[in-house]
Amino acid sequence: MSKRPDPEKTDAENPEWTEEMFANAQRGTAASRRGPGRPAGSNKVSTTIRFDRDIIEAFQKDGAGWQSRMNDALRDWLRTH
């Protein structure tokens, strides 16, 4: 015997799961799509920093990897100053 869903707790974007949904669910699929993450031995540190919009846009215009390119540019500046 199935219990009726409470209309106060359900909506179209988040429907109550059916028995079929539970039967077809796969554990851990979201984490497996994420990828392996940072390579072992990486010396990177996460931080928050503010740059002018035009600086960020200039690095982003070449697509993926813009943060690494920005890191390389800062490293090059450090070598010359």
The reply to whether 7 falls in a domain is no
Q: Residue 79: which pLDDT band, with cuts at 50, 70 and 90?
A: very high
Domain housing 72: 54-81
Q: Are the CB atoms for 69 and 62 separated by under 8 Å?
A: yes
The reply to whether 33 falls in a domain is no
The reply to whether 43 falls in a domain is no
The reply to whether 71 falls in a domain is yes
Q: How many domains does the chain have?
A: 1
Whole-number Å distance between alpha carbons of 29 and 16: 20
Q: Residue 26: which pLDDT band, with cuts at 50, 70 and 90?
A: confident
The reply to whether 67 falls in a domain is yes
Predicted model pTM = 0.49
Q: What is the pLDDT of residue 7?
A: 66
Question: To the nearest whole number, what is the mean pLDDT of the chain?
Answer: 82
- Is the model's pLDDT at 5 over the cut of 70? no
Q: Residue 2: which pLDDT band, with cuts at 50, 70 and 90?
A: low
Whole-number Å distance between alpha carbons of 18 and 25: 11
The reply to whether 17 falls in a domain is no
